[in-house]
């Protein structure tokens, strides 16, 4: 019985790998690219990656029917990095993109990233509610640190040269919790977008709540909870975050 199960598992694994290779052969991968197999490639959508890409073992790229994932040259996907694009959705990413090991991007709308965008290890970027269809826009040179969570129930826009430290959380939704017949987290959904403007610096372990705008070159101190808009060229910190000084 064990031998039969092993043979069955081996055959299924082999067939799965052959299918992934077939799907990868239907994709457009640029010249001088380095691929460490197996690579998971699924879905009926279109995949295009420019020259000099590096796809590490178990990179997972899934694009649904009529979906598109287009990435410029010199992209790096570290081991078990994942981008799943839902049907009829589109992701356009510029050059020198990096997606760190075990990071997960689940796309339910049209997203656009500029050049030199870095998303580090174990980041989780997707809607935290099944009905969410937020749009993510990231400008040139923006860097998102390890273990950061970005909730895409509503839109999130990150400007150019934004730095987000590790272990940050950006939440675009909340729940109505006044109905005493329901658990507090099961009330009606309330969602608002988040905007972080060019050159802002978000320290590690920062939480940003729905509806917040952080101005150009503003600095948020590590460990803060940002509940209200932050003007440009200021330093905010604390729980809740308050003005520390003007730059």
**Which uninterrupted H or E stretch holds 155?**
none
Q: Is 143 a catalytic residue?
A: no
Contact at 8 Å (CB) between 147 and 164? no
Taking CA atoms, 21 is separated from 14, 124, 191, in Å, by 11, 26, 40
> Would you say 190 and 173 are in contact if contact means Cβ atoms under 8 Å apart?
yes
Q: How far apart are CA 189 and CA 57, in angstroms?
A: 38
CA gap 136, 230 in Å, rounded: 20
CA-to-CA distance for 86 and 148, rounded, in angstroms?
22
Residues noted as catalytic: 175
């Amino acid at each position: 019985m064990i031998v039969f199960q092993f043979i069955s598992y081996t055959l299924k694994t082999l067939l799965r790998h052959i299918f992934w290779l077939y799907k990868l052969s239907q994709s457009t991968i640029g010249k001088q690219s380095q691929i460490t197999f197996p690579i998971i490639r699924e879905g009926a959508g279109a995949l295009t990656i420019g020259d000099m890409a590096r796809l590490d073992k178990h990179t997972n790229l899934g694009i649904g029917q009529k979906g598109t994932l287009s990435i410029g040259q010199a992209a790096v996907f570290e081991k078990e990095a994942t981008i799943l694009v839902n049907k009829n959705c589109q992701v356009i990413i510029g050059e020198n993109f990096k997606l760190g090991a075990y990071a997960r991007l689940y796309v339910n709308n049209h997203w656009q990233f500029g050049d030199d965008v870095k998303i580090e290890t174990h980041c989780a970027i997707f809607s935290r509610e099944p009905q969410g269809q937020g749009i993510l826009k990231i400008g040139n040179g923006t860097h998102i640190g390890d273990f950061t969570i970005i909730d895409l129930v509503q839109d999130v826009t990150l400007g150019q040269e934004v730095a987000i430290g590790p272990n940050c959380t950006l939440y675009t939704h909340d729940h109505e919790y006044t109905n005493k017949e329901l658990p507090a987290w099961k009330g009606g959904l309330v969602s608002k977008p988040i905007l972080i403007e060019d050159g802002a610096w978000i320290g590690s372990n920062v939480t940003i709540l729905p509806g917040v705008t952080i101005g150009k070159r503003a600095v948020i101190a590590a460990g803060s909870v940002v509940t209200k808009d932050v003007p440009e060229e200021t330093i905010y910190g604390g729980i809740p975050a308050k003005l520390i000084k003007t730059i």
